[in-house]
Amino acid sequence: MSTPRVLVTGGAGFIGSHVVDRLVRVGAPVVVVDDFSNSGRQWISDHERAGAITVYELDVLDTSSLADRMAEHRVDHVIHLAASVDMRIGLENNWIDVEQSVIGTRSVLEAMRQAEVRRITFSSSSTVYGEPEHRPTAEHHGPMLPISVYGAAKLGAEGLISAYNHLYGIQAAIFRFGNVVGGRMNHGVIYDFLHRLAARPDRLEVLGDGRQRKNYFLVEDCARALVDLAPPEHEVLVANLGTSDTVAVSRIAEIVLEETGVDADIVYGTEARGWPGDVPVVEFDLARAHALGWHASVPSVDAVREAARRLIAEKTVA
């Protein structure tokens, strides 16, 4: 069997560019679609120059152009990552999340149907669970009651993927990520802390009381799952991806100070949540991903430290 031809939406972004690295490494023909709304070409330009990938500046909402690109490159598999990723932007204008995640995913699925592409892998999130009654939370947890429009829109996208699987036979893998961290990060708590310290080195303000606890895993581990784990024929695979442990935001603040060598006062807020819609504790049951042979390579605390080191070395923030 020939290597599947893969189209990555959002392929220039943080996770997307690492997915592209892995696909190029395994020799897959790769097409990247990105509107560059939250990225540039810098992380994928070497592959582009080497002729290993084809890049289109395209909004995933443009269904017919997307279908044309899929047909032209005879794409077998779509890894769908394009979306607005900052939950706090979505707080001010939540249409962004609905448009990007719900309408955008429907557009990708529709383009796939038109171009007869049979497999999708989707980047969902722990936010679909809302504040679950049971922790660690497994994939069958219900009812799913997200507390942010970002999470609600991800859940809507999951629903559309399930419907397209049933109606049109599109094979699907849905991965619910914890916090993905690493080099090239352009958002998230570690990036945010480095950004704040660069602006004000004597004082690190933390959103919330610092007791929020979540799991963090390295972007290369995430890319490995997205590229390597295939769903069973005609089924929808849903799996959490992350680590079984958690690390508190207060510890992340300390790690960032240790790694930057900056001596700042850490100033905590009073709220349990960092912002409205933030889920203070995210703990995953990872039995399903582990049964598929996937494990995060390091615990959360090591992933956080490694990501801070890489961002500092890149000098894009601090």
Ligand X SMILES: NC(=O)c1ccc[n+]([C@@H]2O[C@H](COP(=O)([O-])OP(=O)(O)OC[C@H]3O[C@@H](n4cnc5c(N)ncnc54)[C@H](O)[C@@H]3O)[C@@H](O)[C@H]2O)c1
Does residue number 63 form part of the binding site for ligand X (CB under 6 A)?
no
In one-letter notation, the amino acid at residue 308 is A
CA distance 116 to 106: 15
Both tokens of 222, joined, read 């995430």
Question: By CB neighbour count within 10 A (0-12 exposed, 13-18 middle, 19+ buried), where does 169 fall?
Answer: exposed
Contact present, 240 and 126 (Cβ < 8 Å): yes
Among 3, 26, 37, 134, contact with ligand X (rule: CB under 6 A): 37
- Residue 150 annotated among the catalytic residues of the structure: yes
Binding segment toward ligand X, per CB under 6 A, in 9-17, 45-53, 201-209, 254-262: 9-17
**Is 149 among the residues that bind ligand X (CB under 6 A)?**
no
Residue 64, exposed/middle/buried by CB under 10 A (0-12, 13-18, 19+)? exposed
In 59-136, beta strands by DSSP E: 77-80, 119-125
Q: Is 257 in the site for ligand X (CB under 6 A)?
A: no
Nearest to 56 by CA among 90, 7, 97: 7
- The Cα–Cα gap between 153 and 236 comes to 18
Q: Is 284 in the site for ligand X (CB under 6 A)?
A: no
The active-site residue, picked from 150, 164, 191, 216, is 150
- Region near ligand X per CB under 6 A, out of 22-30, 75-83, 204-212, 228-236: 75-83
Nearest partner of 97 among 43, 135, 154, judged by Cα: 154
- Number of residues lying near ligand X (CB under 6 A): 30
Among residues 83 and 115, whose Cβ is nearest to ligand X? Answer: 83
Contact pick of 34, 97, 139, 192 for ligand X (by CB under 6 A): 34
Contact status: 60 vs ligand X (CB under 6 A): yes
Considering the complex, what minimum distance in angstroms separates the CB of residue 54 from ligand X?
15
Tokens of 317: 């923030």
Minimal distance, residue 201 CB to ligand X, in Å: 26
Per CB under 6 A, does 90 bind ligand X?
no
By CB under 6 A, tell whether 183 contacts ligand X.
Answer: no
Which residues lie near ligand X (CB under 6 A)? 9-10, 12-16, 33-39, 59-61, 81-83, 85, 100, 104, 123, 125, 177, 179-180, 186, 188
